[in-house]
Amino acid sequence: MSKVIEVVEDIVSPILDDLNLELVDIEYVKEGKDWFLRVFIDKDGGVDIEECGLVSERLSEKLDEIDPIPYNYFLEVSSPGAERPLKKEKDYERAIGHNVFVKTYEPIDGEKTFEGKLIDYSSDKLSLEITIKTRKKQVEIPKDKIANARLAVTFS
């Protein structure tokens, strides 16, 4: 599956560059009996349906031409949404000062899930300010312990 993602990334990157859009993530997954190729795109201020449609058209043409995927699949091009995943260095840097949700591979201070404000990020760790009841606490999470991370929407 990762080979498909690599090939799709190589194909879609020039399309996105041409349209001044950013690649956020690519998923190639089987759900039930169907395969889905999902491409998540964004830009400052967000993407609209027309941009998603344009990328989908151009990508679909290239995929039909090259035919790198052996199975029938559904192509979906969309925004990553308000709770976009944090995968690349710049995703984390952009998220500083925002609320994030982090899940770890193994417990840190007895916990595997954390939600709080990202206050610092480096290539080897991130620091979150979490609130426990009424008390604020800083937690450092080694980058190699992160299973996944995303922005977290908070309602106040």
Given 2.40.30.10, 3.30.230.70, 3.30.300.70, 3.30.9.10, which CATH number is that of 2-78? 3.30.300.70
CB 92 within 8 A of CB 86: yes
Name the strands in the sheet holding 146-151, side by side, starting at the edge strand that comes first in the sequence. 135-142, 125-132, 111-121, 99-108, 146-151
Name the strands in the sheet holding 73-78, side by side, starting at the edge strand that comes first in the sequence. 22-31, 34-42, 73-78
* pLDDT tens readout for residues 100-156: 999 999 999 889 999 999 999 988 999 999 988 889 999 999 999 999 999 998 776
For the chain, what's the residue count?
Answer: 156
* pLDDT tens readout for residues 21-66: 999 999 999 999 999 999 999 998 889 999 999 999 999 999 999 8
pTM greater than 0.85 (yes/no):
no
In our burial notation (b when 16+ CB lie closer than 10 A, e otherwise), range 107-120 reads eeeeeeebebbbee
Q: Where are the domains of the chain?
A: 2-78, 89-151
How many whole angstroms separate alpha carbon 31 and alpha carbon 94?
Answer: 32
CATH hierarchy code of domain 89-151: 2.30.30.180
